Amino acid sequence: MEPSEAPSLMLQAEKALPQPVHPRLISYCPTMDLVAVITQEETLDVYRLNGQRAFGLKRKTFESKVDSICWKFNGQHIAIAWDDGSVDIVSSETGKTVKQVRREAASFAADDESTPRISSLAWGVNFIDVAAVKERTGAWAPSGVLFDTTEDWDQKKEEVTLDDFLERQPDLAKLGISPDLPDQIALIDVQDALPKLPLIPAPPANPFQMMAKAKSTDAFSSQQSIDAIFHSQHMRDSNAVDVLLIGCDNGAVSPTIYDSLEIGGMRIPSEWSLINQTPLLHASHPYSCSHLSLIEMKSESWEQPRVALVPLTLRFIPSNGIYLHLIASKTAQLQNLLQYLQSCLRTIIAYFHNARDLPSRFMRNISETLEEKGEGDLISNLYHLAVTGHCPPTIKEWLVDELAENACKKTFAIFGTIR
């Protein structure tokens, strides 16, 4: 009997990229048709299946390298780990960096080893009240309740599944898990009653410092990105905890909840006498507070490397209840507000320096030109222009060419229109 032909996969899309990519740094979005790749120039490019480029992220410096990438379980963000130990979180809606997680990698290194690099990223979610979710999804029902009566028909809720809790924008009203009155009072957010924060304008362009690298304020440069940061829907779900696991090449695993609150880390015991341990894969389930890491281990007494499944149980998630969400969400709000204020101050300082430095630079340039030509100083020439109405050719060229081209209309209007 001849064996049947193996099933073949259907080709969904094909695209020729403009430059080579790293084969191990390719990731598919779990909720949207987006594919993220890292090019040989260490830049992030995200493409749709039709080949159109959705967004991207440039490398920080010329020496920066990407160590790992990972999509969030709901596709809202993508995390990029750099070789300096920092992790940039990029929004899939705006394509801009909304947060940066900087872990102290040196704190997980022993005295006799160098600073470890990030080898893996993983994103998971854990429910605080698992019984409420199981009851809502129908996976678990109280004992003694088998059939609904006619009195319960009007109170029957719409059926939901576990995927409804993990959507990119979950419908909290449809999920129908409402806390009791004390918890509802604790979850009242004053920020909803306040006006929305406006966007931060881009710093003024300085023609004398075109090559200067300004600090990034992309996260607050549009109203859409600001709303995604301060009014995110996932921060309102008080029954789910987002966990970002950062694994290093020395076996250390550092969990961060809600992308803002670091809660320490874990390392393989030194008694195992391993020369190398690298996290490879991660697995978790929303119903469990445990995260499993598949770690490759090497030892001098072993002929070949071995793999071990190491559990990391976050018992504080179900024990702390809704208060964990309150602490983490308020911490994230304060960090975002602090970052917003810092961006505002940087923009104000840039405008202030531009208002002070730009006129002085123009005056310094014309003063040097007049001194080289032996035509006196700027004050004498402007006084001569105001008294006699005669404009020297050098001053006229300066007013018409330099000031007019750089949109200095206020300064130009002081001296009048010269034709």
Two structure tokens written together for 278: 């690298």
Q: Where are the alpha helices (DSSP H) in 126-187?
A: 130-137, 162-165, 172-175, 181-186
The dihedrals phi and psi of 27, each to the nearest 5 degrees, come to -140, 140
Residue with tokens 């909840």: 257
Higher pLDDT, 152 or 309: 309
CA 328 to chain centre: 17
Helical (H) or strand (E) element with 369: helix 322-373
The string of pLDDT tens digits covering residues 239-269 is 778 888 888 877 788 888 877 777 777 777 7
When pLDDT is averaged across residues 39-49 and rounded to a whole number, the result is 90
57, 219 Cβ separation under 8 angstroms: no
- pLDDT beyond 80 at 221: no
pLDDT digits (tens, 9 = 90+) for 106-149: 445 554 456 778 888 888 888 887 887 777 776 544 444 444 55
Q: Which helix (H) or strand (E) holds 379?
A: helix 378-388
Give pLDDT tens digits for 331-384: 777 888 888 888 888 888 888 887 777 777 778 888 888 888 888 888 888 888
pLDDT (tens digit per residue) in 305-322: 888 888 888 888 888 777
CB 267 within 8 A of CB 108: yes
- What pLDDT score does 131 carry? 80
Residue 81 and residue 92 in contact, taking contact as beta carbons nearer than 8 Å = no
Do residues 382 and 415 make contact, with C-beta atoms less than 8 angstroms apart?
yes
What is the model's pLDDT at position 149? 59
101 band by pLDDT with thresholds 50, 70 and 90: confident
